[in-house]
C-alpha cells in the first residue's frame, strides 16, 4: 500500500476518479473527511516525497501489551510512511520484550522506560504525561509530525495533516449529538454541554504537525491532572479530553473509521478499505486489573 501523507486541507483528486456520493467527504468547517475513493494517493505522494519529513510514532507497550509490539512494527514497516523517515518511540516497562525487527531505510526505534501500572486506566492517563515530557525533552528536536497510536493495532495505510482525528467506529453513523459518549458532568474538565459536538473521535489514533500535537497532548494531560485533583476521572480518560479539545480546536483533517476499524466488528459496505485494524484480544489477560 502507498506511503501516502496529507497536510493541511490539501486533498488530491485525479481527473479520472469519481467522487463517492454515499459518504460525506467534507466537514461543516470545510476540512476534508477522508474515505477511500475521495482522494488520489499518487498526487499526494508526489507532493510530500519532496518534503522528506521526519515522522514520530508514539506507542505504549506496558505489562502484557508488549506481546503486540512485533506485529505493530512489522505492519508499520510494510504500510506506514514507506519512503519517509520514521522513528517508533516505544514506551515500555520491559525493554527486554522489545523485539528485533528488520527496519527499512530511514526507520529507527527509540525505547523509553516508564513505570509499571496496577490499573489500565493509569496506563491510559500516563500516556499523556510521558508523551508531553518526552516531546519537550526529545521528540521536538527529532520529528516534524507525530502520530499517537494504540499498540494493539496493525497498519494498512495512513494520513497526516496539521491535526488529524479519526471518527470512532461505534458512533460515526450517529446523527444525534446527545448520543455521543461525551463527558456530561459539569465538574469535569472534559465536560461538553448537551446539544454540542461535531463528531466522536477515537483516542486510539491521532496525529499531526508536532507542535499542534504537543498542544493537544499537553492539554489532555493537564486537564486530566485537574480532574484528578478533584477526584474525577473522565469516563473515557484521555479520549474524553481529546473530544473536548477538538470541539473547540477543529482538526484540519477528519479520517473515516477506515483508519481504525476493529477485528471484533463486521465490516460494513461504506468501509471500502480497513487501513488500521484493532486486534481481538482478551482484556482480562493483558490488562493489569483484568480489564476492569
- For the question of residue 142 being annotated catalytic, the response is no
**CA dist list (Å): 60 to 131, 138, 174, 250, 292:** 10, 16, 30, 26, 19
Catalytic, out of 77, 158, 238, 239: 239
What are 168's strand-pairing partners?
A: none
**What b/e readout covers 137-176, taking b as 16+ CB neighbours within 10 angstroms?**
eebeeebbbbbbbbbbbbbbbbbbbbbbbbbbbeebebee
CA distances from 287 to 92, 123, 124, 134, 276 (A): 14, 10, 11, 24, 22
Bridge-based pairing state of the strands 153-155 and 261-262: unpaired
Gap between the Cα atoms of 154 and 73, Å rounded: 8
* Tally of CB atoms within 10 A around 118: 10
224-257 as b/e: b if 16+ CB within 10 A: beebeeeebbbebbbbbbbbbbbeeeebbbbbbb
Q: How far apart are CA 147 and CA 28, in angstroms?
A: 25
φ/ψ of residue 111, rounded to 5? -100, 130
Separate counts of helices (H) and strands (E) for the chain: 6, 11
How far apart CA 217 and CA 70 sit, in angstroms, is 26
H helices within the chain, ranges in order? 41-49, 69-79, 120-137, 210-229, 238-248, 283-286
> Which residues are marked as active site?
239
Amino acid at each position: 500500500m502507498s506511503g501516502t501523507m496529507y497536510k493541511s486541507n490539501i486533498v488530491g483528486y485525479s481527473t479520472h476518479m469519481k467522487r463517492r456520493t454515499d459518504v460525506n467527504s467534507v466537514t461543516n468547517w470545510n476540512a476534508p473527511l477522508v474515505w477511500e475513493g475521495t482522494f488520489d494517493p499518487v498526487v499526494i505522494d508526489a507532493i510530500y516525497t519532496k518534503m522528506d519529513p521526519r515522522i514520530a510514532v508514539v506507542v505504549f507497550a506496558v505489562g502484557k501489551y508488549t506481546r503486540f509490539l512485533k506485529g505493530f512494527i512489522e505492519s508499520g514497516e510494510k504500510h506506514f510512511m514507506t519512503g519517509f523517515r520514521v522513528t517508533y518511540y516505544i514506551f515500555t516497562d520491559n525493554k527486554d520484550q522489545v523485539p528485533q525487527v528488520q527496519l527499512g531505510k530511514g526507520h529507527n526505534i527509540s525505547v523509553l522506560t516508564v513505570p509499571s501500572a496496577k490499573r489500565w486506566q493509569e496506563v491510559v492517563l500516563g500516556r499523556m504525561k510521558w508523551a508531553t515530557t518526552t516531546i519537550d525533552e526529545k521528540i521536538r528536536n527529532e520529528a516534524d509530525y507525530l502520530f499517537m497510536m494504540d499498540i494493539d493495532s496493525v497498519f494498512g495505510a495512513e494520513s497526516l495533516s496539521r491535526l488529524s482525528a479519526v471518527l470512532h467506529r461505534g458512533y460515526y453513523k450517529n446523527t444525534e449529538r446527545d448520543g455521543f459518549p461525551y463527558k456530561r458532568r459539569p465538574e469535569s474538565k472534559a465536560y461538553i454541554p448537551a446539544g454540542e459536538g461535531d463528531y466522536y473521535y477515537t483516542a486510539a489514533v491521532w496525529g499531526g504537525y508536532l507542535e499542534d500535537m504537543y498542544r493537544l497532548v499537553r492539554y489532555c494531560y493537564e486537564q486530566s491532572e485537574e480532574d484528578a485533583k478533584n477526584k474525577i476521572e473522565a469516563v473515557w480518560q484521555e479520549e474524553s479530553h481529546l473530544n473536548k479539545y477538538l470541539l473547540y480546536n477543529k482538526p484540519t483533517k477528519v479520517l473515516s473509521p477506515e483508519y481504525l476499524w476493529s477485528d471484533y466488528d463486521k465490516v460494513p459496505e461504506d468501509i471500502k478499505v480497513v487501513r488500521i485494524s484493532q486486534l481481538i484480544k482478551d482484556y482480562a489477560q493483558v490488562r493489569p486489573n483484568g480489564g476492569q
